[in-house]
Every structure is written in structure tokens, then in C-alpha cells.
Structure 1
């Protein structure tokens, strides 16, 4: 009986060692990298790149050119920095996939989440950086070309919908069908609200101003609040899930896989 209990908990009382709480070192390290990446991304996008809060879509070619001229240095510093650390997105997706693989709902949904977020990072993150850095690289370009890069960057950043919708959907399904209680059920419903905001955001492709434009209250600010809540809850839940593991739990899961 003692042997069976030791196998399930990942500990062996015979060896005289006390299991380390808080998960393995790599899980703790990646958890803090996740938090650091989202903090750095917020600084680069909001304070330096000025993409959040988003600038107005209802502007003229000249206004766009003047806007890029005003924020040229911030965009170049912030977005080059984000390009350097962009791999943090993959690390962040990986740790979520790690915990999803611990769920009884199976590994396929974890792989689907990682793949969807990985594909979505290109139009939803990288394209904004490249478009605006290209615009500031040669600020003497024709104003209509600058306006094109301005629109393409913002519409891609705020309007990349399908991949993220799929990612939130598989995460919600995995949590709802999970019997191991890795994440609580209520977090699945927050993820579903993420899907709702992605669907509502489709209207930004039709409106140049108002609540449904890319800087609108409905299509953007409500989505930002829900996304912020989602990230804060996720950080707390991942830390709690990591703390529930012993240092030997990953090895136990590897043997069972």
C-alpha cells in the first residue's frame, strides 16, 4: 500500500528525501519568464510603440505621416526590443501546454493550443512590429504608403481573430473535460469570453470610427479588460498548479506517457 501511494505522489519515503514543493525548476523558471515576457510586451507596445491604446483609424495621410514622425524613436526602440524577445511568446505558450497535458482531457488539445497560438503570433504580433518599423525606417516615403503600413499594422494586431479563437476554445474544452482539476472550471468561462471578444472584434474591419472601430469601446477596450483579467488569473492558476506538484511529478508523468 505504501509503495502504491509513493508511486502516485511521486515520492519514495525509503530514500529519506523530502519532495520539493513548487514544481520542478524548469517549470518555475518558465513561469517567471512568462510573467516577464508579458510585462516587457506591455512596455514595448504601450509605452514605447504606442499601439495600445490604439491610435485613431479615421486620420488622413498627412496625419499618419506626422504621427510616425512624432513617435519614430519610441517605435524603433520598443519594437526592435520586442523583436529580440519575441521568442518569449513560444515559451509562454509552452508552459500553458505543459499544464494542459496534465489534464485528463488529453494531449491533443494541448498541442492544438500551442499550434494555434504559434500561428496567431505572426499576424497578431510580428506583423505590427514589422509594418511600423518599416514605416519609421524611411519616414520620407509617400504618405499613402505610410498610411498603408499604419492600417496594415493595426488591423493585423487587433483584427487577427481565428487562431486565437481556436486557442481559447480548445483551452476551455480541455478545462471543462478535465477530471484532474489542474485549472478550475470558472477559468474555462473566462476563456470563452475571450472568444466572444474576438468575434465582436470582426466589426473593426467595417468601421473607421466609433465603438466598433479598431480603437472602439466595444471592439477594443472591453477586450483588453477581459484579456488582462485572463492573464492575471492564468498567472495565479499556473503558480498554484506548479505548487501542487512535487519536484518528481514531471518524471512520474513522463513514465506514464
Structure 2
């Protein structure tokens, strides 16, 4: 009897849809609702931050909730990433890259969730002490740009697994593995924001913020399309194996 898909393609499409849900809710929560994009200047005082967001705190809170829910969808998305990486490790005794990818993806989801929780604390009360608002804002934006280790690790796992694949059908085109490794490096440029209060390296600067985030958006679009193609190709692959199987083998198992 021919082998069947390890995880049904409809389940994988559901996990894939969660990835799209993450991207939509995450950026809708950050930009049009809460107004956190473009980021506030690190030089703003707590009083200036409250003046910037205080007139529409309920909308800010709504954006925080939406972004929080979107970030949680990274967990099922990371499951899909691990499933596809496991295909690349066919024949290996221990699927180390897929396991490491899933762990890194879950940690990455927590790192995406935390900024929204911190922002919720900062803007929960309209009469919050300005010094505390500034402290929480600093902590949140620094965390937002310094969560790259788990983020990059998940991308490195996919790239390394694909470039070292030895058996089974090619899951993604080879250039996509290099794209993941490139994004893993670009996503780390935000670490420089901890040293600057203004200029291109600050958390609202061209290199500190817009390079990693601006690169991540088109990268997400390419990634969604490549995973959709991989799921469909996997479905066709196993359907072909089932058609090639001998019907007598099926009867022998009844």
C-alpha cells in the first residue's frame, strides 16, 4: 500500500490560513488601530507619549487586542513550518531541524505576544505616571526589535534543512532557503537600537526599524505563497503514489 500524507493537506491549509491571519491581524493592530507604526521617537517623554495616544486610548487598546490575537496564530503557523521541514528530513533517525524549528517558533510567538501585553500595561490608565509610561514604552520597543534570536533560529532551521536535504521530493526551491537565511540576518539589525536614541539605528530609524520590518512584509508574502505551493505539491505527490499502488496489496490488508 502506498504511504499517505503524514498530516492531511486540509489540516495544513488550515495552519497556513493561520499564518495569513497572523500577518493581517498583527499589522492591523499595530498600524491603523493602535497607531504604533510609525514608531514614536525614543526621545519622547512619558507625558508626550500620553499626549500622542491619550485621546484615543480605547482604539489603542483595541489594536493591542487584535495584535495579541494575531501573534498567537504564530503557534499553528510554526507547526506547519515544522511539518514541512520534517519532509526534508525524511530518512533521518531524528528530525532535529523540525523539532528545533517548532520550539523556536513557539518562543518567537511569545516574543511577538509580549509587546502587546506591555503596551496594555502602559496605556491601561489615562492617569498613569509619565515616567512609568516612558519606562514601559522603552522596554516594549527594545523587546520588539530584540526578539530576533528565536525568529532567526526558525528561519535558519528551514534554510539548513532544505540545503542539507538528501532524500524525498524537493519541498521548496533552493533560492527560498537562501532567502530565509538572508532574512535571519536582516531581522537582527534591530539590535542596534539599544545603543541609539535618534538617527537610522534608533528603534524608529531606517536600519533599526524599517529595514527589518520593511523586509519582513514582502518576505511573508513570498513565504505564504511558497508554503501554499508546497502543500499542494505534497498532496499531488501522495495522490500519485496511491494511484501507482497495486490494488491487490490493498485487498491483502482487508
Counterparts of 1:157 and 1:53, CA distance in 2: 14
Match of 1:168 among 155, 163, 166: 155
Instruction: Confirm or deny that 1:141 pairs with 2:136.
Output: no
Counterparts of 2:228 and 2:21, CA distance in 1: 14
Q: Partner of 1:127 in structure 2?
A: 114
Counterparts of 2:31 and 2:185, CA distance in 1: 24
The farther-off stretch of 203-212 and 83-92 is 83-92
Match runs of 1:7-46 below 5 Å: 7=2, 10=4, 24-46=9-31
What runs of 5+ residues in structure 1 fail to find an aligned partner? 1-5, 12-22, 253-257
* Offset of residue 166 of structure 1: 1.7
Q: TM-score, normalised by structure 2?
A: 0.83
Match runs of 1:171-190 below 5 Å: 171-179=158-166, 180-190=169-179
Counterparts of 2:129 and 2:216, CA distance in 1: 36
Q: Partner of 1:202 in structure 2?
A: 191
* Offset of residue 76 of structure 1: 0.6
Residues 51 and 154 of structure 1 are in contact (CA less than 8 Å); yes or no, is this contact kept in structure 2? Answer: no
Query: What per-residue deviation string (whole Å, max 9, x for no partner) do you get for residues 226-255 of structure 1?
Result: 2122211111111111111237949x9xxx
Counterparts of 2:67 and 2:152, CA distance in 1: 24
RMSD: 2.4
Runs of 4+ in 1 over 6 A off after TM superposition: none
Residues 97 and 157 of structure 2 are in contact (CA less than 8 Å); yes or no, is this contact kept in structure 1? Answer: yes
Structure 2 residue matching 1:236: 3-state secondary structure:
helix
Q: Partner of 1:150 in structure 2?
A: 137
Change (3 A) 1:198 1:36: closer
* Offset of residue 86 of structure 1: 4.2
* Offset of residue 217 of structure 1: 0.6
* Offset of residue 214 of structure 1: 0.6
Q: Looking at both structures, which has the greater relative contact order when contacts are Cα pairs under 8 Å and sequence separation is at least 6?
A: 1
Change (3 A) 1:192 1:71: farther
Q: Partner of 2:74 in structure 1?
A: 89
* Offset of residue 84 of structure 1: 4.0
Query: What per-residue deviation string (whole Å, max 9, x for no partner) do you get for residues 158-177 of structure 1?
Result: 22222122222212111211
Counterparts of 1:110 and 1:37, CA distance in 2: 21
Query: What per-residue deviation string (whole Å, max 9, x for no partner) do you get for residues 22-81 of structure 1?
Result: x62212222222212211222112211222322211212321221231341222112123
Residues 68 and 135 of structure 1 are in contact (CA less than 8 Å); yes or no, is this contact kept in structure 2? Answer: no
Query: What per-residue deviation string (whole Å, max 9, x for no partner) do you get for residues 65-104 of structure 1?
Result: 2123134122211212333454311011111111111113
Q: TM-score, normalised by structure 1?
A: 0.82
Counterparts of 1:222 and 1:86, CA distance in 2: 21
What runs of 5+ residues in structure 2 fail to find an aligned partner? 242-254
Structure 2 residue matching 1:7: 3-state secondary structure:
coil
Query: What per-residue deviation string (whole Å, max 9, x for no partner) do you get for residues 120-170 of structure 1?
Result: 222x32221111111221121211001111111111112222212222221
